[in-house]
Chain A
């Protein structure tokens, strides 16, 4: 893939993402334009602005937990005033949630087109109050990010933040699954009173109050003071202070040493040595641990409401919950275990070319570790599956493991090649991969359907012939073809490694610039 093609390819996810939000903004515009009942519009506007506020403030939690935020601390060595850096930070909050600007613009322009509010004359109060609401969110988000970022330096906080974020993300699905009426739901929310979103909604409805204006001014002053204080504290903090040093060893009563040394009992050296090294190194990467944690929780939280919501026997999700969540977990941790298997090794990957081992053995070791971790994920998902209110079928457990095993053959066949052809250095402390990997991520979006096609065909066979026998026969066939494809993929990856070792090492040895993305 040429650089130009890669750049265009990388735009696709952004187009899809912002396309979705543009559609959402248009939907909001249409609603605000035609709704003519103030009693309906007022709480809806307040609820919508509350949602915008929450999104705006939660976004920094996600970006900080993934490490996707610019590290302005590296700029303090230059003669730039802290006030200017604070302004940069506030501007960054503006650009990181452009989708919310689309939503606000959709709502505001819908109101301007609504005859209920006097047409364009309403722009006199809708636009300024909208801008004030945006400003309030910007400065508060800057403070929240600084606070969260400092908090995430403490052990376990990043994982806790990510879990909170996941729970918030999946809560709409759960609420929808519970079928709670909208009116009942809004009665629990703070949609009235002197909250910024409620005041803005009131002004937009054309009923501003003095106390509302004063309250908003107080909100802004408090947010500004909070944000500056947090930002300066984060900026002046010693980057290493409070950071928990990684101390390998026993974790509680259970010693991970047992797991690390397990390969020595079944594999010969140097394969066992490489597998052991990989397990040790991965277990000490905060970002990888987080990905593993997400791997088995995210799928359960996303798909469980759907599985429980459709209790009928014919529900695909109800029947195949375990297999679906297992495959989903593979997609989540795949970038770290097989699509970009040398990412965490960074410049040390050159050791594999300098050491007296065939490169094929290195890839085998990486694949063994990926399978091992994937099967731990499936086992954890199975444990949860036993306790969720779905009918437990041992058959489903065997199916999930088999489907995962066969899928591994295909994804490794492609993953071994992508690991050598498109390597990307990764920071073990952050999940964010940076904009440069966007085109590669988009490419992976194409690979996944290809890799999972044989599994899809096996399910299709079961659906058409209503036969588990057909399903397993097709799965067996997929496994045999997968083994052949894996072998071909391995040979291609090994040849690529010989021809591209220099480029691979050069890319993996890249370090952060003066203004890196960092946690």
Chain B
């Protein structure tokens, strides 16, 4: 079986500046893959290219055995997405949005409605079904985005900072659901700044810095002699002592 994601020499240029610079990566099927990097390293740009939101300048992408671009619709049908920018339509209610997403992913209307209701229950969003998403809190928005990514039972999850702004209970729930999905054979590819979460969830990790992969492997391989993933991350990416300001 082909890997979930195969990226070869991927490049993305913005005004001749490389946001992603020759990235090569392989994500095994059924893995919980953490994609780490400091701010501006190229994580979100990579995810945008994987989802077809941004065309690569050069290089090749293969997702679930299909080339991207070329078989975008086949790929999109099989992935669940939680991006950094909101995909949520603010003027719809939670149930309406989930039903809409389900139908966009070829679910029958009745089935989409049923799954929407079940997911809302699961994510504890069924309290006020008449509330529009525009009036949701940040955490609720993340929950509904997560629910939407699950509605069509995807084989691959692409998630950009999925736990950002989510309370501890919500984060725990989301983690449990994702772990459950991985146990059932799905692949999760996520970015997160919360390294404790990555350390606890992920079995594979890659670190991107200035558009290039600078280290990848299992959590144990990356930790090496360090006590925690955070320590290893800081060592790998490099930490510069900041200048002291007299007035600060």
Q: Which A positions have Cβ atoms within 8 angstroms of B?
A: 245-249, 264, 269-270, 272-274, 276-277, 280-282, 284-285, 344-348, 350-351, 353-358, 428, 498, 501-502, 505, 509
Contacts and interface: CB of A to CB of B under 8 A. Distances in A.
Interface string B132-169: 10110000000000000000000000000000000000
B39 interface: no
B33 to A, nearest CB: 19
B104 A357 contact: yes
Given A277-B96, A280-B96, A357-B104, A248 B87 contact: no
Contact of A277 (B55, B77, B92): B92
Contacts of B103: 269-270, 272-273
B51 interface: yes
A285 B135 CA distance: 13
Contacts of A356: 72-74, 76-77, 104-106
Instruction: Tell me the dominant secondary structure on chain A's binding face.
Output: helix
B130 A247 contact: yes
Given A270-B106, A353-B51, A428-B91, 9 more contacts: A245-B131, A281-B92, A346-B90, A347-B87, A351-B87, A351-B104, A354-B53, A354-B81, A428-B90
Q: Which 10 A-B pairs have the closest CB atoms?
A: A273-B103, A356-B76, A281-B91, A356-B77, A284-B91, A351-B87, A355-B104, A348-B89, A356-B73, A347-B85
Interface of B: 48, 51-55, 72-74, 76-77, 81, 83, 85-93, 96, 99-101, 103-106, 109, 130-132, 134-135
Contacts of B96: 248, 277, 280
Contacts of A344: 91
B81 A358 contact: no
A334 B194 CA distance: 46
A498 B70 CA distance: 13
Contacts of A346: 90
A365 to B, nearest CB: 11
B92 A354 contact: no
A370 to B, nearest CB: 17
Given A273-B104, A356-B104, A350 B83 contact: yes
A350 B77 contact: no
Contact of A354 (B83, B99, B100): B83
B208 to A, nearest CB: 19
A505 B53 contact: yes
A276 B104 CA distance: 12
B131 A345 contact: no
Nearest to B108: A269
A273 B109 CA distance: 9
16 contacts: A246-B132, A248-B132, A272-B103, A273-B99, A280-B92, A346-B90, A347-B86, A348-B87, A350-B87, A351-B87, A353-B51, A354-B76, A356-B76, A356-B105, A356-B106, A501-B53
